[in-house]
A and B are shown apart, each in its own frame.
Chain A
Amino acid sequence: MSDIADRVKKIVVEHLGVDEDKVVESASFIDDLGADSLDTVELVMAFEEEFGIEIPDDAAETIQTVGDAVTFIKGAV
């Protein structure tokens, strides 16, 4: 796992209060990690701050899984 993936994972674990081993690349925030829609908004906010990037709303909608987040952030930083 890259540095970005580790940092994403840490944010997800902290924010959603889930076990670290559940936060795999294919895990869906809503279906697998128990996030509600507002949690996903907050996760995007947290990613923006952690990585100093801006995630537009239409991009945010495509970020459904941990892997989606890592891929998007890798392309944005």
Chain B
Amino acid sequence: MFDLTGRNALVTGASGGIGGAVAEALHAAGASVALSGTREAPLRDLAERLGSRAHVVPANLSDAEAVAALPKAAAEAMGSVDILVNNAGITRDNLFMRMSDEEWAQVLEVNLTSVFRLSRAVLRGMMKARWGRIVTITSVVGTTGNPGQGNYAAAKAGLVGMSKSLASEVASRGITVNCVAPGFIATAMTDKLNDEQKARILTQIPAGAMGSPADIAAAVSYLASREAGYVTGATLHVNGGMAMV
């Protein structure tokens, strides 16, 4: 679809459904990929399937030291980080009145603070190269809100404001910073829903179907491409029309 030959991409959360699809798509477009995640085995499987140009760089993003080490490990493996895809995220859902400080803090730490730290770390190389792409996976709930996800929605909305601020700082250096906001995507997480829950969700989606990880990967590939160089500070909603914002 787009040619990313010679580009080096770090993808966090690459052991998950969406992250894996993103890594595959960037790799198929010619990029080298560094696959990060907490579980090493699925990362190794993915790297094996991709063959050459795939590196495994495990990291636990709730650990500040691991976050600091990750961009260095990725740059050592690939030579540079030209594309950063912030995909990793966790949920600790609870009704607002029952949500603990810890549930709040954990989600903010992994979903928002680690993205700040990783983005800050890769900027130096991108500034020097006068080229860079930061693509952060947010969520439709960052825009619409969702009961039980006060922490998650806050982090996802926070990523949008953070990305826009950074985008305006570094636009003159050939670096773009954008978000992709998935709606309901069929992954291991949504497999757990029963048929009734799925049917109810589908009534809210004009497209009449859940999205696939590949739909998200296509959006990321575009924003990572040379062709998207004039797009920055944007959020690309990929949700089958579920929220038209």
Interface residues of B in 155-178 (CB under 8 A from A): 169-170, 172-173
Q: Which of A38, A41, A45 contacts B172 (CB 8 A)?
A: A38
Say how far B166's CB is from chain A's closest CB, in angstroms: 11
Bound complex: CA A59 to CA B127 (Å): 21
How many inter-chain contacts with C-beta < 8 Å in the A-B complex?
9
Interface residues on B, range: under 10
B124 sits at the interface (CB 8 A)? yes
B98 sits at the interface (CB 8 A)? no
CB-CB under 8 A from B124, the residues of chain A are 45
Bound complex: CA A41 to CA B120 (Å): 13
A42 sits at the interface (CB 8 A)? yes
B200 sits at the interface (CB 8 A)? no
CB-CB under 8 A from B170, the residues of chain A are 38
CB-CB under 8 A from A38, the residues of chain B are 169-170, 172-173
Q: Mark A22-56, 1 if CB is under 8 A from B, else 0.
A: 00000000000000001001100100000000000
CB-CB under 8 A from B173, the residues of chain A are 38
CB-CB under 8 A from A41, the residues of chain B are 127
Bound complex: CA A41 to CA B124 (Å): 10
Q: Mark B108-133, 1 if CB is under 8 A from A, else 0.
A: 00000000000000001001100000
Bound complex: CA A23 to CA B170 (Å): 25
CB-CB under 8 A from B127, the residues of chain A are 41-42, 45
Say how far A55's CB is from chain B's closest CB, in angstroms: 13
Contact A45 B169 (CB under 8 A): no
CB nearest neighbor in B for A49: B128
Bound complex: CA A13 to CA B230 (Å): 29
Bound complex: CA A29 to CA B137 (Å): 37
Say how far B174's CB is from chain A's closest CB, in angstroms: 12
CB-CB under 8 A from B172, the residues of chain A are 38
Bound complex: CA A38 to CA B175 (Å): 13
Q: Mark B171-195, 1 if CB is under 8 A from A, else 0.
A: 0110000000000000000000000
Bound complex: CA A45 to CA B129 (Å): 13
Say how far A39's CB is from chain B's closest CB, in angstroms: 10
Say how far A57's CB is from chain B's closest CB, in angstroms: 12
CB nearest neighbor in A for B170: A38
Say how far A21's CB is from chain B's closest CB, in angstroms: 26
CB nearest neighbor in B for A42: B127
Say how far A35's CB is from chain B's closest CB, in angstroms: 12
Bound complex: CA A63 to CA B173 (Å): 22
Bound complex: CA A38 to CA B173 (Å): 10
- If A38-B170, A38-B172, A45-B124 are given as contacts, then 6 extra A-B residue pairs at C-beta distance below 8 Å, sorted by A number, are A38-B169, A38-B173, A41-B127, A42-B127, A45-B127, A45-B128
A-B contact pairs, 9 of them (CB 8 A): A38-B169, A38-B170, A38-B172, A38-B173, A41-B127, A42-B127, A45-B124, A45-B127, A45-B128
When A and B form their complex, which 9 residue pairs have the shortest distance between CB atoms, in order from nearest? A42-B127, A38-B169, A45-B124, A45-B127, A38-B170, A38-B173, A45-B128, A38-B172, A41-B127
